[in-house]
Amino acid sequence: MIIDGKKIAEELRFKLKKEIDQLPTNLSKPGLTVILIGDHPASQIYVRNKEKFAKEVGINSKLLKFEETITEQDLIQEIHKLNDDSTVHGILVQLPLPSHIDSGKIISEINPAKDVDGFHPNNVGNLSSGNDALVPCTPYGCYLLLKKVIPNLSGLNAVIIGRSNINGKPMAQLLLKENCTVTITHSKTKNLKDLCLTADILVASVGNPQMVKADWVKKDCVIIDVGINRLEDNGTKRIVGDVDFENVKDLVKAITPVPGGVGPMTISCLLNNTIKAYKKINSI
């Protein structure tokens, strides 16, 4: 089975739109502000898509653009203004930031209740304590895709390749909460292939094109491929994941394609987080 992330992401946006349509009319609509610094081309595309889909579901989306030269202090001031703005329920600072700005410091200045990327230490702590939290969008999207295929994840062996703060670690927390037995692997892990062969659930978040081969996966495994890698063969550009999709897809129970798997879920989960933040702020 190929997991259709595009369709599942669309279904989530449809549900969110319906939810927004039914919100009390005396309240302002949910508001999301994205801060973009500099003119990083990939970031510009991500931000444009975020705005487009936010508008589509009825979220008031605003983009604040600043020059690459903005100081850390000025950026913090802008964040404080958004923290105090009652029409803003979600704040997202598009990463990466220029090297003179400490992204950890910036994220810590966002009101955790409006931290729709789920990167603030309070949200990270709440997620790892098993409490309610705004969860990072990509791993939450992976989790929703998995739940579509296997509604009850309890007792399954999950192997995660990659320990990043944005994907690998929060993914592990989500799966632990579902009573999976979780193994987090990374670049220093020994016998990675053998560990992958124990996986009922395999999540690859590495950034290494097609590294997971057909003889690394067991039958009935469900694979979530987070990787986005750009390849060029004889002048033809294409995007592939961290899994050798063509040779793996017929061996396993289910797999996400790249593109069209995890990617589309990330924005839908951002909108989901914005509405979650809105409801909590308004005690709905």
Give the shortest CB-188-to-ligand NAP separation in angstroms: 5
DSSP state of 182: E
Distances (CA, A) of 5 to 60, 117, 194: 25, 20, 28
Give the shortest CB-148-to-ligand NAP separation in angstroms: 16
Active site residue 117: yes
**Dihedrals phi, psi of 41, to nearest 5 degrees:** -60, -45
Structure tokens at 2: 């190929």
The residue from 18, 22, 39, 50 that is catalytic is: 50
| Amino acid identity, position 211 | M
95 vs 281, which CB is nearer to ligand NAP? 95
SS3 of residue 160 by DSSP: strand
Active site residue 22: no
Q: Is 85 exposed, middle or buried (0-12, 13-18, 19+ CB in 10 A)?
A: middle
The residue from 115, 117, 225, 244 that is catalytic is: 117
Name the site residues for ligand NAP (rule: CB under 6 A): 138, 161-164, 166-168, 185-189, 192, 205-208, 226-229, 262-263, 266
112 vs 261, which CB is nearer to ligand NAP? 261
| Amino acid identity, position 209 | P
160 vs 180, which CB is nearer to ligand NAP? 160
Active site residue 15: no
Distance CA 267, CA 265 (A): 6
Give the shortest CB-283-to-ligand NAP separation in angstroms: 31
Give the shortest CB-9-to-ligand NAP separation in angstroms: 11
Positions marked catalytic? 50, 94, 117
